[in-house]
Amino acid sequence: MAKASQDRDPVAAAVGLLSRRDHSREELKQKLRSRGFVVSDIDKAIARVDDWGYLNDARFAEGFVRYRSARGLGPIRLANELRERGVAAELIRQTLAEAEQDWFELCADLCQRKFGTAPPSDFKARAKVQRYLAYRGFDMEQIRYALESLHS
Tens digit of each residue's pLDDT (9 = 90 or more) over 46-74: 999 999 999 999 999 999 999 999 999 99
pLDDT of residue 6: 56
Q: Domain locations in the chain? A: 10-98, 103-149
Question: Between these two residues, 2 and 73, which has the higher pLDDT value?
Answer: 73
Q: What is the pLDDT of residues 10-53, one digit of tens each?
A: 999 999 999 999 999 999 999 999 999 999 999 999 999 999 99
What is the tally of helices (H) and strands (E) in the chain?
10, 0
d(CA 99, CA 93): 10
pLDDT of residue 94: 97
Cβ-contact 148, 140 below 8 angstroms: no
Q: Is the pLDDT of residue 3 over 70?
A: no
Q: Is the pLDDT of residue 1 over 50?
A: no
DSSP string for 1-21: -HHHHHHH-HHHHHHHHHHHS
Q: What is the pLDDT of residues 74-125, one digit of tens each?
A: 999 999 999 999 999 999 999 999 999 999 999 999 999 999 999 998 999 9
**Given pLDDT bands bounded at 50, 70 and 90, which one contains residue 134?**
very high
CATH class (in words) of the domain with range 103-149: mainly alpha
Q: Is the pLDDT of residue 5 over 80?
A: no
Q: Which residues contact 70 (CB under 8 A, 6 or more apart)?
A: none
